[in-house]
Structure 1
Amino acid sequence: MARPVTNAAFDGLLTAAGYGNAHAAFARQLNHVGREQGAWRYDAASVYWWLRGRRPGEHVQEAMAETLARKLGRAVSAAELGFGVLASTGTCVYPASVDAAIDAAEQIWMTLAKHLNRQADGSFDSGKALQAALGWRYDLPDQAVIRRGRQKVTSSDVQSLYALADHFTDLDRRHGSGSPHTRAVMADLLVRQVGPMLRGTYTDAVGRELLRAAAVLAGQLAFMSYDAGDHSRAQHHVTLGMRLAKAGNDRLYGAHLLANLATQAVFLGHAREAARLAEAAIDGAGRAPAAVLARLHATAATAYGQAGERRACQLALNKAEHSLGRTGTESGPRWVGYFTPAHLAGAALRCLGDLHLYPQALRHAPDALTLGSQNTRTRALHTALIAMTHARAGDTDAACEWSRTLVQDAAAVQSVRVRQRLRELTTSLRMHRASPQLNEALLALSAAPAAT
């Protein structure tokens, strides 16, 4: 039995344009209008659900209005379609359904692919971040994600997406995400390759795999946007990634993304909100592999350190160290392999330094630099932390020496986070009495490519 039409405005426009009993014809024309935006595969079933409350992305609504305008011989605005006001790409609402998440993902990917140099309006919204954490943690699981479209998706198709994610992850770690071109290229691939797959034909099992892979890609694009200082869009990407991960039954990757949201909150100074997000990630991860728990507890430690909660910070750091010590006996998901003792040492440097425990923090300095050659940006970030910790501890000679190393490490990286660390180090050094060595270090920092 067919469901009743709930969008009378859209139904009326279809009828007036001669598509009342020709939904497949309307879908074909819509696909033709949207051909420049990727391989759309809308069909009569898509129109059926749009008439019954499902809302397409804003870019799809614009194409709908253009399709109807051609038949009606007059201008048609998206507002006439009856779908209501969609959240803009600058908002970070946790989608209520898988279809809403797919629509929102296509919308934000399209916007990023088209506008290389335009950052999203708005800023990081800690309230929306906490709402997303609640939705991810407590919303009921999706019963089924089976779909029927024009493109058949297989498990081997999904595996190719992980290779794509690995490629961009490697680029990000080696060179940073300061260039908008890299993110735009990735978004374009998502529009043209992943979007049609999400709207294709797949079984429930393959659909879960596909949603997990899409979550990984959304998470990588989120982290790249965060590193580039595009915080509103980064939050939106990671929120969508959490929703896709939940639909894919990937609890651990969802917790990882929530911890990334906490990391972003720490960077922006929202320490207490970051602590709540990190604890929600730990709670949601449950009995996770040791490597995952190490990463989550390390994030909580940085949040508590910034908030000045010494006891909670030390406890979280101890838990992270204990978990990392057990990683040799437990296998974790492939994406957590990046988190090494060097990354934990960097977190310890950060949180203990925030607590003004400088001698304790500097004990982690050697381990923080035991990084692979591909971790160019992390090396620069950790080197800056070491230099800054020495400066805050009053050892300007050591701070200046590490500053020279930092300038070399930062030269090959485009990263807003690295630039921020350079500025923080410069501020710390300027608090000390001027000397030839200090002046030389400040001049070198000001001339560093990453500082501009």
Structure 2
Amino acid sequence: MARPVTNAAFEGLLLAAGYSNAHAAFARQLNHAGRNEGAWRYDAASVYWWLRGRRPGEHVQAAMAETLARKLGRSVAVTELGFGAADSIGVCVYPASVDGAIDTAEQIWTRLARHLNQHASGMFDSGKALEAALGWRYDLPDDTVSRSGRQQVTSTDVQSLYALAEHFTDLDRRHGSGGPRTRAVMADFLVRQVAPMLRGTYTDAVGRDLMRAAATLSGQLAFMSYDAGDQALAQHHVTLGLRLAKAADDRLYGAHLLANPATQAVFLGHAREAAQLVEAAIDGAGHAPAAVLARLHATAATAYGHSGERRACQLALAKAERALGRAGTDSGPRWVNYFSPAHLAGAALRCLGDLHLYSQALRHAAAALALDSQNVRTRALHTALIAVTHARAGDTDAACDWGRKFTQHAVGIQSARVQQRVRELTTTLRPQHASPQVNEVLHTLAAKPAAM
């Protein structure tokens, strides 16, 4: 069933110009008008999504106005097109084409760079997340991503993007993303450097690698936005990353990216949708390397645990453990190297605790803290989870001991997720506030700054 049109102004202009039933013809004229920008490949599907909420880049809107003005015999202002202000992020839609993905990238990166200090952009939409998963999984692959634009892009240029992505990842793990500084630097870099590269000149091979690098950066920014508590912006970036991974023909990284909104959905209480997202990721990954499968099945266990599906949770945990045991000989891509036995132990601690299997959960406590030194935020999150699990199991003394350790580990970390663990621990301990040691821990937690 076709979606209803939401941009009546654009629809009216198409009707007046004779394009109401000739969307493909309009797209061809638009491609011709924008020939100086490179090899545009807009089609009738692009027009369909523009009519239903997706906002093209400003340069595309200028070409649209030019195309319509030529047919109407009068000037057409960009403001007449009905796409709204440039600062609006628009509807979270999985881009139908590579050109659409490039437009979306420019739009949301620009918005982030301009308005990073504003309040969060909205709520997570689980329906849109599932739509993006279906698009990534079942849409036809892109025949080619080669372009002819203003800037020559080489393999060396693309490799520099991977190096910078690792740098941003390291900063995030050490300090969290609740503060705007790291995201501000990253957003500025994406607008000034990566967006022009996407509109440059490159072969299909270089283009696929460029799309993969851009997907990596967008995925990292999605995770950072999620950690900062900006759920809608995180969803926009992961949806963009999925489309770029599709263009790169990299199903493994796409599956990895799709597991991130599943984790986000668990955090926000959408357990059933989280399970559906990670199931799509596992299905799309196919015969993946063991380390990738370990990460995906661990995420599935977390989703099942949160929804109370004990058998499915324990089965997913067992699959994750077996896969991680094979990872030494089947390690997979470089980006999955972060996933260690400690990360799996943290997932086990979380999902078994959600199932009220506290003794089983706490058997994983020591392993969950066997982290590399750069995983500062994860250490804080796992420490808080151990404290919460002890508290829920009725061991107030142990909960207070771990609560004190958590406050030490959380110093200097700016993260909405860490703050959520503070609230969980506070809520769990509060009924015992008459105890002097509980009261002490509660006061210590309350004294921590909001951007811990």
2:305 maps to 305
Deviation at 1:78, TM superposition (A): 2.4
CA offset at residue 270 of structure 1?
0.1
Q: Distance in 2 between matches of 1:156 and 1:9?
A: 48
RMSD: 3.0
1:113-128 maps to which residues of 2 (within 5 A)?
113-119=113-119, 121-128=121-128
1:232 is paired with a residue whose SS is helix
Cα deviation, residue 331, structure 1:
2.8
Contact kept, 8 Å, 1:90 with 1:232, in 2: the verdict is no
Q: Deviations over 1:219-275 (max 9, x none)?
A: 000000000000000000000000000110110000001000100000000000000
Distance in 1 of aligned mates of 2:17 and 2:325: 59
Counterpart residue number, 2:36: 44
| 1:428 corresponding residue in structure 2 | 428
Name the count of aligned residue pairs. 417
Q: Spell out the pairing of 1:353-372 with structure 2 (5 A cutoff).
A: 353-372=353-372
Q: Separation in 1 of the partners of 2:16 and 2:122?
A: 31
Q: Is the 8 A contact 2:158 2:213 kept in 1?
A: yes
Match of 1:15 in 2: none
Q: 1:95: how far off?
A: 0.7
Give the counterpart letter for 1:353 in structure 2.
G
Residue equivalent to 2:105: 105
Counterparts of 1:3-402 in structure 2 under 5 Å? Answer: 44=36, 57-60=56-59, 77-81=77-81, 88-119=88-119, 121-402=121-402
What's the CA shift for 1:121?
3.4
Distance 2:224 2:59 in 1: 26
Question: In the alignment, is the contact (CA less than 8 A) between 1:119 and 1:233 conserved in 2?
Answer: no
Shift of 1:416: 0.3
324 and 425 in structure 1: CA distance in 2 versus 1, 3 angstrom threshold: same
> Distance in 2 between the 1:150 and 1:323 partners?
46
**Aligned residue type for 2:417:** R
- In 2, Cα distance between equivalents of 1:274 and 1:325: 25
* Cα gap change, 1:171 to 1:433, in 2 (>3 Å): closer
CA distance, structure 2, for counterparts of residue 166 and residue 84 of structure 1: 35
1:84 and 1:405 mapped to 2: Cα distance? 49
Following superposition, the deviation at residue 276 of structure 1 comes to 0.5
1:435 Cα deviation after fit: 1.0
Q: State the alpha-carbon separation in 2 of the partners of residues 213 and 192 from structure 1.
A: 15
Aligned to 1:449: 449
Q: Give the deviation of 1:310 after TM superposition.
A: 0.3
TM-score (norm 1): 0.86
Equivalents in 2 of 1:59, 1:190: separation in Å?
17
Task: Specify whether residues 96 and 120 from structure 1 end up closer, same or farther in structure 2 by C-alpha distance, changes over 3 A only.
Answer: farther
Provide TM-score, normalisation by structure 2. 0.86
The CA deviation string for residues 327-375 of structure 1, in whole angstroms up to 9 with x for no partner, is 0111310100000000000000000000000000000000000011100
- Does 237-246 or 59-68 show the bigger shift? 59-68
For the residues of structure 2 that align with 1:86 and 1:243, how far apart are their CA atoms? 22
For 1:171 and 1:102, the matched residues in 2 are separated by: 26
Aligned 8 A contact 1:229 1:417 in 2: yes
Structure 2 residues not aligned, in runs of 5+ = 1-12, 20-29, 68-73
Distance of aligned partners of 1:83 and 1:410 in 2 relative to their CA distance in 1, 3 Å threshold: closer
Q: Which SS does the other structure have where 2:95 is aligned?
A: coil
SS of residue in 1 equivalent to 2:337: helix
Amino acid at match of 2:56: G
Unaligned segments of structure 1, at least 5 residues:
1-5, 13-22, 28-41, 69-73
Residues 410 and 450 in structure 1, CA contact (< 8 A), matched pair in contact too: no
